[in-house]
Amino acid sequence: MKYLIYILTLFAFQFAFSQKDADSLPQLDLYKIALVNQTDSYITFPIDIGNIEPLMFEANVNPSFIVRERKDSKLMAVLTPQIIIRMYNEESYPVRTPSYIPQISFYYVANKTEILNSLVLFGKIAHHSNGQDGRFYNEDGTINLQSGNFATNYFELGFLKTSYSNRLKAIKTIKSSIEVHPKSWMLQELKGQYSGLRWHNTFTSFKFPLKDSQNDRANFSLKAEATIMLDNFNDKDAFDLDRFNASLTFYYHPKFLEDIGLFVQFYQGMDYYNIYFDHQLSIVRFGIMTEVLKF
């Protein structure tokens, strides 16, 4: 499955659109560009396919609070109290060690040549922990997944490039960024086994309805993400596949639903759920997503 996901991700990154005028669409301002970069809130169905533990659901709660002087500001901040929760399909349906990822992001419009053609620089400072205070290791030397303490802080720097295809009625964005976890910012036990230097690349496309439609949101969207862990951790070889995370998400917004839509996601890579980072996932998942971006 992992090779299929890598191939699909690379294909999505190569997918290109012709550039034409976008007068038929409202302006893509800094606020909307920032929302594209923020992780969407979602809930998965209990039908994951792959090697993840049986779940009732995984939920990502990710509201965005905007700080700006006025609507046409070139500089803006976004506050996000992100929380990821997994409810396990076990007796009494426990919720174990949620991920708490509060963060603040800053966006700046560096260049804007057309209505939907712009370059935005961004930076982020974030904290990632699981709210536990137990010992990191069990007595047998394994990681304590039940109550072990997990905590790290990091910053991320990168850019977002937006453009538009009038022929396909689609907006695309390309993101590239570097994420850094300084060793002094992370838990002592994580040093040497948790990657502190990551290169993220993301391609997103929003497919719009026909010109005469009154729909103010995209009918379809696609997001392809790839991350490479660049530093030395766990003595992994330079081309070890465990250094690569890749995902491909398809989102569909039916006309009969107002604020939510359906998605399917393919994911291969390190488990992003705090202290479960030592696990490698290869999964296909389905669920509902609140893609709040409107145009």
Q: What is the pLDDT of residues 189-246, one digit of tens each?
A: 999 999 999 999 999 988 765 454 455 566 788 999 999 999 999 888 988 999 999 9
Distances (CA, A) of 101 to 7, 47, 144, 183: 30, 26, 20, 18
Residue at 131 is within a domain: yes
Cα(148)–Cα(135) distance, rounded to whole angstroms?
5
pLDDT, tens digit, 9 for 90 and up, residues 101-155:
999 999 999 987 766 788 999 999 999 999 999 999 999 999 999 999 999 999 9
Q: Is 113 left (phi over 0), alpha (psi -120 to 50) or beta?
A: alpha
pLDDT of residue 292: 58
Q: What is the pTM of this model?
A: 0.86
Which two three-digit tokens encode residue 16? 């290109």
Distances (CA, A) of 31 to 24, 34, 249: 19, 5, 22
pLDDT, tens digit, 9 for 90 and up, residues 11-68:
454 443 333 444 555 467 888 888 888 888 999 999 999 999 999 999 999 998 999 9
Residue at 245 is within a domain: yes
DSSP string spanning 160-214? EEEEEETTTTEEEEEEEEEEE--GGGB-GGGTTTS--EEEEEEEEEEE---TT--
Amino acid letter at 2? K
Residue at 295 is within a domain: no
DSSP E strand stretches across 181-295: 197-207, 220-229, 244-252, 261-270, 280-290
Cα(55)–Cα(273) distance, rounded to whole angstroms?
13
Phi, psi of 7 (to 5 degrees): -65, -45
> 4 pLDDT exceeds 60?
no
> 10 pLDDT exceeds 70?
no
Helix (H) and strand (E) counts for the chain? 2, 14
Query: Which residues 6+ apart lie within 8 Å of 140 measured at CB?
Result: none
Average model confidence (pLDDT) across the chain: 86
Residue at 17 is within a domain: yes
Domain count, the chain: 1
Which residue, 173, 127, 179, 121, is CA-closest to 153? 127
Residue at 225 is within a domain: yes
Residue at 145 is within a domain: yes
CATH code of the domain containing 24: 2.40.230.10
Residue at 186 is within a domain: yes
DSSP E strand stretches across 13-62: 41-44, 49-50, 55-61
pLDDT of residue 116: 74
pLDDT of residue 190: 96
pLDDT of residue 253: 83
Q: With contact defined as beta carbons under 8 Å apart, do 265 and 249 qualify?
A: yes
Residue at 55 is within a domain: yes
In this prediction, what percent of the chain has a pLDDT beyond 90? 63
pLDDT of residue 166: 74
SS3 label, residue 34: helix
**Which position has the token pair 């838990």?**
187
Could you tell me the residue range of the domain that residue 271 belongs to? 2-290
